[in-house]
């Protein structure tokens, strides 16, 4: 049986402020760290030795090549090298490829072995400030395994942006998207609040809002956003809120639930901006009261979506 078999439904977990992580290692070394990725960004794990890699001339050093799997041509990224580990030939022979899906962008990550799937509450996922001191930080969050071992959750969106930038959001498109749109006074004069833990996604959103000459304020997780909103004398003055789903301390779905339960925020426009863009997640966001849902790779369209949501909440 595969380590990825029998995982729980993603939306049910998110509603309970929970997630499931696939834990893996990137080398055979005894002191090799444990890493993790949300299981709903993964498809399967295949043995590297069973698949032929086609190399791509003049490609990024982390792009090892492509393989064909179930009719798909999948780029393979050297995750150990991104983390500063060089695998020896014997390790490469024994390694595996973790097939992942980010907003329909399917990639393979070279890993050594898939360890197990664990269930965690988001309040067990920690984001020390030390991870955010450097703009180029690769680790976003961490958690502990049952034996106390540290398990690191990486900024996979940064990896994609580094190696396959054309697959990410095109921030230069955003000004064109609002060229002929009348911006509401509340949006022009107010500050959009954003809960997002990925520094890469934060940077993309910041560029989009700067290009549009609009104000925004970013919080590293849903709890910080909620604490700030509770401190405001009149939360109804907020033009709109943007939230990711996956965040330490408090998930975006929990943010949605809390905001819709509170009379002072129940009518605010709330956009979910996530790389977990399955039909189930979109449906769950709508059920919980989201005003809109946008894939992170399409974030350049977020301001027209905010305006649409503001119009809807005025009527």
What per-residue confidence (pLDDT) applies to 4? 65
Residue 2 lies in a domain: no
- Determine the longest span between alpha carbons in the chain, in angstroms: 64
| Residue at which a domain ends, from 134, 165, 196 | 165
Q: How far apart are CA 243 and CA 253, in angstroms?
A: 9
Same domain, 156 and 285: no
Same domain, 125 and 221: no
CA 224, 228, 230, 231 torsion: positive or negative? Answer: positive
Segment 80-110, tens digit of pLDDT: 999 999 999 999 999 999 999 887 789 999 9
Residue 1 lies in a domain: no
- The mean pLDDT value for 143-166 works out to 90
Name 232's Cβ contacts closer than 8 Å, sequence gap at least 6.
238
Least reliable range by pLDDT among 13-27, 136-150, 160-174, 256-270:
160-174
Same domain, 187 and 155: no
Residue 260 lies in a domain: yes
Same domain, 201 and 309: yes
Residue 160 lies in a domain: yes
Average pLDDT, the chain: 87
What per-residue confidence (pLDDT) applies to 293? 93
Q: Which of 121, 116, 69, 114 is nearest to 95 (CA)?
A: 114
Report the number of secondary-structure helices (H) and strands (E) in the chain.
11, 15
Q: Which residues pair with 216 in a beta bridge?
A: 192
pLDDT at 15 over 70: no
Segment 261-301, tens digit of pLDDT: 999 999 999 999 988 777 778 888 888 999 999 988 788 88
Percent of the chain with pLDDT over 90: 55
CATH number, residue 268: 3.40.50.2300
Least reliable range by pLDDT among 95-99, 134-138, 209-213, 268-272:
134-138
What per-residue confidence (pLDDT) applies to 232? 96
Residue 3 lies in a domain: no
Q: Which of 73, 76, 203 is nearest to 137 (CA)?
A: 203
Same domain, 292 and 155: no
What is the 3 state secondary structure string of 149-190?
A: CEEEEECHHHHHHHHCHHHCCCHHHHHHHCCCCCCCHHHHHC
Same domain, 304 and 176: yes
What per-residue confidence (pLDDT) applies to 48? 93
Q: Which of 226, 229, 206 is nearest to 303 (CA)?
A: 206
Cβ atoms of 306 and 269 within 8 Å: the answer is yes
Q: What is the count of structural domains for the chain?
A: 2
CATH number, residue 152: 2.40.50.180
284-301 as b/e, with b when 16 or more CB fall inside 10 Å? bbeebebbbbbbbbebbb
Residue 244 lies in a domain: yes
Segment 17-72, tens digit of pLDDT: 788 999 999 998 877 899 999 988 899 999 999 999 998 888 889 999 999 998 99
pTM reported for the whole predicted model: 0.81
| Residue at which a domain ends, from 140, 165, 190 | 165
What per-residue confidence (pLDDT) applies to 157? 85
Q: Which domain holds residue 143?
A: 10-165
| Residue at which a domain ends, from 165, 190, 205 | 165
What per-residue confidence (pLDDT) applies to 1? 45
Q: For residue 44, report the phi and psi dihedrals to the nearest 5 degrees.
A: -165, 170
Same domain, 160 and 175: no
């Amino acid at each position: 049986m595969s380590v990825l078999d029998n995982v729980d439904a993603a939306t049910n977990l998110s509603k309970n402020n929970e997630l499931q992580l696939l834990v893996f290692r990137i080398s055979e070394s005894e002191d090799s760290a444990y890493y993790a990725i949300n299981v709903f960004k993964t498809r399967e794990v295949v043995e590297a030795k069973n698949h032929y890699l086609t190399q791509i001339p003049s490609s990024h050093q982390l792009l090892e090549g492509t393989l064909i799997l179930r009719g798909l041509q999948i780029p393979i990224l050297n995750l150990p090298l991104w983390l500063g580990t060089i695998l020896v030939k014997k390790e490469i022979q024994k390694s595996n490829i973790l097939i992942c899906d980010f907003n329909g962008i399917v990639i393979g990550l070279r890993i050594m072995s898939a360890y197990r799937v664990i269930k965690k509450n988001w309040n067990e996922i920690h984001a020390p400030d030390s991870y955010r001191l450097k703009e180029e930080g690769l680790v976003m969050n961490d958690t502990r395994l049952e034996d106390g071992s540290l398990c690191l959750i990486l900024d996979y969106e940064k990896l994609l942006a580094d190696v396959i930038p054309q697959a990410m959001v095109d921030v230069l498109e955003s000004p064109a998207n609002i060229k002929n749109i009348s911006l509401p006074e509340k949006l022009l004069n107010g500050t959009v609040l954003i809960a997002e833990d990925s520094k890469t996604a934060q940077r993309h959103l910041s560029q989009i809002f700067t290009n549009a000459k609009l104000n925004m304020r970013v919080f590293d997780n849903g709890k910080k956003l909620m604490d700030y909103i509770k401190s405001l004398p009149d939360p109804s003055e907020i033009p709109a809120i943007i939230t990711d789903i996956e965040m330490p301390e408090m998930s975006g779905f929990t943010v949605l639930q809390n905001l819709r339960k509170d009379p002072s925020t129940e009518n605010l426009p709330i956009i979910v901006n996530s790389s977990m863009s399955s039909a189930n997640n979109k449906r769950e966001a709508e059920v919980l009261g989201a005003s809109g849902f946008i894939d992170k790779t399409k974030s350049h369209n977020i301001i027209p979506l905010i305006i649409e949501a503001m119009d809807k909440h005025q009527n």
